[in-house]
Structure 1
């Protein structure tokens, strides 16, 4: 590609400023005349170099005009130099930072800012990428892009030669010519995804260093297909959608959606998928292709789309015209295609306005993509830095445990096992007290248990409301079915007692359910602690797991027995006189107040319609149940905490210490897991990776 394409290029700086053949971003490019302005004659005597075609001295008015023009051009060059410095100081480092993080493999740990390119098959996606990169990508029928292709474009000075580098799995391939790229991509995809047309989520990385590309990194994704072709899996369409969603749903990813002008944009699958993961359009940029195929008379509808009036996107739309199949058949060079594109928009009756508005052509798209990527990187950097530090902290803690290999001598092994169990027991104690150390967004066990206890409190409140609603009917039922020789109007204590017992019985199973939920949380937490402490000692971890399971079963039985004993006592229906009188008086005062103020129609209806013995029964039942609820609200959680948490933890610590007495089993318990060395290596590499990432971020913020 020659220098006439208009891509963002690095200006070469000399002591006199920008060189004649230098290129900058479109907004930074000097005019062709900037380097051909003769020096004003009155500066000749100052010893400045003179051009051979220096013009003759002019009259004063023309001389002043020429002098003014000279200073304007000098100021323009100085401004361009300043803008270029800003580009080099702000834009280039942002893109280099993310590329460096990606090269480290940080994406194995967390998502990085990126631009993902998606589109339906035959949308022109490959043509856009070819125009941006200056290389020919694989083409053909069906699904051609079968793996995510990371396309890293690096602009270099015009004096340097084109270079390419492809990386996938453990392969690194140097490319010396752009013509080698297409074959290299096909071979890489065959290795990663197989030769039968299947797809893979494994990334292939292609770096292009050229004077004719913008500084930009894109991820090309498979085109959205609807039917399988040849040996492709029958569900190839769903596989592609799942792969695309996995990448474009990340908040760190900008989505570049390619849509042909000659289709209904509202029906395109690519744009619909982008809207699903980004409903507000914050991360989506639309690219319209194939403007030469637009039906006559529909040009205004295309312009409305580009102007964001049809399906609004916060980042808007661009329109481009790339090489078509006939152009490729005729071997039209990419550089020539860029020139043709510019001429097409400049001379088009309808679309020329889009050129004037800066919404058309590949060079302007390149500039916009670079700017959008840099803005996105700057926006996400604080969050990214925090995430890296959190992951590093957790990895260091994990690695600390894996670095403790098994000692050689028997006495050292005993001390080593003692230390392992002591640290584990310390964490169990901290957990019981609700003081355990947390990593990242972890939640304390006690906080999770409190959520369950709030559920129990809600159950009691709902039960009280149910009593209040159904009590009059129940009283009448007992009155009709069970009243014996007593006269009407006499309150039957047996009726009161039966109503209370019935309500208490309904609460028993929900209380046991709360117990089971809590003890499940405790067991899971203790299991995670054992795995964290004994990760590289499979036998020791299994011994701890067995003990946790045994104690869990024992404590669950014991706690359930206590809870059922509590409800057995509750069915006695007893309360101290003074406490009951206080509750009863409070209920009667509350009813009187509500009836007098008319705040509760239900109470008013009882006062107006129900006989006095019904009102009396309602008051007595509510008074007693208020006291019972207060008792159960605290008592059930106390039983659960005592048996399912504290006793569980204490017994576990004791039984783990008993392992130290079984000296004949120490070698077995400290036998290192076969995967431990592999995991230790993985953690070490991860720490190195994250430390380097932190250093990159520190260097970037110090710029």
Structure 2
């Protein structure tokens, strides 16, 4: 190990330190980092391998002893330097006096995280060890795979462990270090099966065979074939090690002594000495291979890691911008902050009402809705005009009922007036419904503006919505009163003579009635009367052939008058609605909101921030800081 560290110190340690530093920042919460995860069935010798690599005693015993993922960071120190240890988990950090205390500290950490029983947790424990006797290497130890729950364990403990293991080994950035005893059929081991599921080509998997001293006589060649990658092929191959057994631990054989005994075992073994000669055996050779594999994996992952950090940094900044900076904590700055927020909101409310672009960035356009609604109103007016062709029977009823002294062929004005009122009255409730539809839509758009303007200030948002609701109801009531007054006025059948004559002339042209082509708008009143009399005489001659002449004349004048009235209503109703529901509402909202913030008694109430938003902003700020620092590490690497 010393030769390895001397030879590769300049390029090995910086790579591993970089990843360890990123993991310390918490970057692994957001993206995967290159790592080696150690997995194996229970009693596979996993803990013994880690002990041999790290030089410390890890928790041992029956059942599940690794109950939380353990990040084992090993850093080689110079000859003569003291041993150093530190354990970190959740918000706790503690120095460890010596190698003998590591077991106890890990158990304490697991009990605090996963409870005092036999449950497991996905929360990470980080163990840092620095010594002249360890390699520059970081490993993640995961709970051993179990099939049967023992006393005190949940029935699905096996599934829980597999789920936890898959959280790590599924990531493309993770190398799976699969520990398998030589004494079992490697093809049946659960750990290798899990590694093959997520890495079918074996590109990220390295096999470790343990307990070679327990191999049955006659099966040694099978073990050799496995190590030579001839049974189940893995791109990273296999290693074989012999660590301390229970007997050696009981005899208090030191890890240094165990390594010497391991070397003697392989060099003197009748079959396995060839594996030693090939560099496939012993813990020191394993440490060398793991270090080189990890460094290679880190270098391979760095370009993609840099891209991911840049992407996450941009995403976090964009998300943080949506939450804003939040209310200032400094007292003198709070009132100006509130005034700025409310002023920006009211200015956007005015912009919304005038069709200008909003400064808040929200894409609200109330006029697209108004165009649709008012176009529909115009369609209703046209539809009612078309229905005049279907009311001839009604006109005949009125003629028979109300015609007095008029001779046949003359229009009964009372009949005309009654039918005009009846038809126009049909538009009153549709106009009021149109007002309510528009009012509801405008209110919803103002609500959206309030949500966007005050996303983190629930009290201010609530007060703004209360103002919007009250003003909306008030302006809707005023507008409805104006509309109903308009229809009351429409019950006075009236239009300017010139406008009505134009309407009659337009209708004659539409219906194909011939007119003198030399007639124009500048002809004097006498000329118009003469030609009009001529037209009426011709009209009477055309239609007096039957008893329906008067009815036809009545229908003609009804349509002519409705044309004038509908043109008036086509503009007047939208103008009333737009003026009261939109323009007046926005102006009143601006006045009410600015008046409200003049009282400092409401200041603290208005600036009370939503807890979830504040927490989210704090988390985003923390993440942003984390990624910026991670980016600086990569730039400086």
- Does TM, normalized by the shorter one, top 0.5? yes
Aligned partners of 1:530 and 1:363: how far apart in 2? 66
Out of 294, 298, 312, the position equivalent to 1:377 is 298
Alpha-carbon shift at residue 392 of structure 1 (Å): 1.3
Aligned partners of 1:419 and 1:97: how far apart in 2? 50
Task: Check whether the contact 1:424–1:530 (CA below 8 A) recurs between aligned residues.
Answer: no
Q: 1:101-500 maps to which residues of 2 (within 5 A)?
A: 101-400=22-321, 401-405=323-327, 407-408=334-335, 411-418=339-346, 426-428=361-363
| SS of 1:287 mapped into structure 2 | strand
Aligned partners of 1:531 and 1:318: how far apart in 2? 62
Residue deviations 1:610-632 (CA, integer Å, cap 9, x gap): xxxxxxxxxxxxxxxxxxxxxxx
Aligned partners of 1:159 and 1:528: how far apart in 2? 69
Structure 1 stretches lacking a partner, 5+ long: 1-6, 10-23, 29-83, 431-526, 548-650
Normalised by the length of structure 1, the TM-score is 0.56
| SS of 1:679 mapped into structure 2 | helix
| SS of 2:343 mapped into structure 1 | helix
Residue deviations 1:512-570 (CA, integer Å, cap 9, x gap): xxxxxxxxxxxxxxx999999865244688999999xxxxxxxxxxxxxxxxxxxxxxx
What is aligned with 1:492?
A: none
Residue deviations 1:257-276 (CA, integer Å, cap 9, x gap): 10111111111111111111
Task: Check whether the contact 1:117–1:218 (CA below 8 A) recurs between aligned residues.
Answer: yes
1:428–1:176 distance in 2 versus 1, CA, 3 Å = same
Residue deviations 1:162-186 (CA, integer Å, cap 9, x gap): 0100011111111121111010011
Residue deviations 1:377-399 (CA, integer Å, cap 9, x gap): 00111111111111112222333
Aligned partners of 2:464 and 2:260: how far apart in 1? 72
Aligned partners of 1:528 and 1:97: how far apart in 2? 46
Out of 669, 680, 685, the position equivalent to 2:622 is 685
Aligned partners of 2:359 and 2:197: how far apart in 1? 45
1:352–1:691 distance in 2 versus 1, CA, 3 Å = same
Alpha-carbon shift at residue 315 of structure 1 (Å): 0.7
Residue deviations 1:204-226 (CA, integer Å, cap 9, x gap): 00000100000000000000111
Aligned partners of 1:657 and 1:353: how far apart in 2? 92
| SS of 1:254 mapped into structure 2 | strand
1:263–1:531 distance in 2 versus 1, CA, 3 Å = farther
1:198–1:662 distance in 2 versus 1, CA, 3 Å = farther
307-316 vs 119-128, which moves further: 307-316
| SS of 1:288 mapped into structure 2 | strand
Tell me the matched-pair count: 421
| SS of 2:207 mapped into structure 1 | strand
What is aligned with 2:408?
A: none
Task: Check whether the contact 1:420–1:533 (CA below 8 A) recurs between aligned residues.
Answer: no
What is aligned with 2:371?
A: none
Aligned partners of 2:316 and 2:294: how far apart in 1? 30
What is aligned with 1:695?
A: 632
1:160–1:660 distance in 2 versus 1, CA, 3 Å = farther
Aligned partners of 1:94 and 1:317: how far apart in 2? 24
Structure 2 stretches lacking a partner, 5+ long: 329-333, 350-356, 366-446, 469-580
| SS of 1:297 mapped into structure 2 | coil
Q: 1:589-608 maps to which residues of 2 (within 5 A)?
A: none
| SS of 1:408 mapped into structure 2 | helix
| SS of 2:87 mapped into structure 1 | strand
1:665–1:287 distance in 2 versus 1, CA, 3 Å = farther
| SS of 1:389 mapped into structure 2 | helix
Alignment of 1:25 onto 2:4: yes
What is aligned with 2:456?
A: 536
Aligned partners of 2:465 and 2:200: how far apart in 1? 45
Aligned partners of 1:198 and 1:315: how far apart in 2? 33
Task: Check whether the contact 2:346–2:589 (CA below 8 A) recurs between aligned residues.
Answer: no
1:689–1:357 distance in 2 versus 1, CA, 3 Å = same
Alpha-carbon shift at residue 680 of structure 1 (Å): 2.7
Aligned partners of 2:109 and 2:200: how far apart in 1? 35
RMSD of the TM alignment (CA)? 3.3
